[in-house]
Amino acid sequence: MTFWWFNDLIFKGHKQSLKLEDMWALDRNNVTNSILKKFNKVWIPTIEKENKNAIKRTLEGEPVITNISILSSLLKTFWSGFLFVALLKLIVSSLIFVNPLILDKLISFMNPSNDEPQWRGYFYASLMFISPLFESLFNSQYEYRINLISMRIRACLISVIYEKVCYLLFSFSLLKFDLAII
C-alpha cells in the first residue's frame, strides 16, 4: 500500500550505481509471453469467427471487408484490472468530497451555541487528517495499477504487431521465392 518494498533499491542506488543483478525478476503476470497467452485466448477466436463470416460472405457473392476491433479483445482480456482501477478511482473521487463535509461539521461544532460533546471536535479534526491520508494512499495505488495495466496492454500490442509483421514478411519472402522459380 505504501510501496515500502521499493526502499531497499532506492537506498542501494543512492550508495552505489545499480547493476542489472540488483533489479528484481519480472513478475509472471508481467511477462510478455504470459500476457500474450491471455490475450490470444480472446483474440484468436475473434479472428477465427470473422474469417468464417468472411468465407460465408464470399460464397454468397458479397464484397468482403473485415473489421476486427482489437479494443474489444483488449477490454475482454484486461477487464478485471480495469474494474479494480475504476473502483480505486471511485474511492479516491469520493474521498475528495469527504473533507469539505467534515470541515462543515467542524465549523458547526465550533459554534458557541453548540451542545455536542468535546470528543466530537477531536473526532472531526482527526477525520480531517485521516481522509486526505487515505485519499493519497488510494490515489497512489490507482496510479500504480493504471500504469501496470497500460504496460501490459503496450506489451501485448507490440507483440501482436510484431507477430503480424513477421508473418507478413515471411509470406512475402515465400511469394518472392515462388516468383523467382517461375
Q: What is the spatial distance between Cα 80 and Cα 34, in angstroms, rounded to a whole number? A: 16
**Is 145 contained in some domain?**
yes
For 58-111, write each residue's pLDDT tens digit: 777 777 777 788 999 999 999 999 999 999 999 999 999 999 999 999 998 888
Q: Does 8 reside within a domain?
A: no
User: What residue type is assigned to position 107 of the chain?
Assistant: I
- Please, which pLDDT band fits residue 156 given cuts at 50, 70 and 90? very high
Residue 77 lies in a domain: yes
How much is the pLDDT for 144? 93
Q: Is residue 108 part of a domain?
A: yes
Q: Are 78 and 154 in contact (CB under 8 A)?
A: no
Q: Residue 147: helix, strand or coil by DSSP?
A: helix
Q: Note whether residue 67 is domain-resident.
A: yes
Closest by alpha carbon to 21, among 32, 13, 33? 13
**Residue at 169 is within a domain:** yes
Owning domain of residue 88: 26-181
What's the total number of domains in the chain? 1
**pLDDT score of 177 more than 90:** no
Whether 18 is in a domain gets the answer no
Phi-psi domain of 16 (left: phi exceeds 0; alpha: psi -120 through 50; beta: other): beta
Flag whether 7 is in a domain.
no
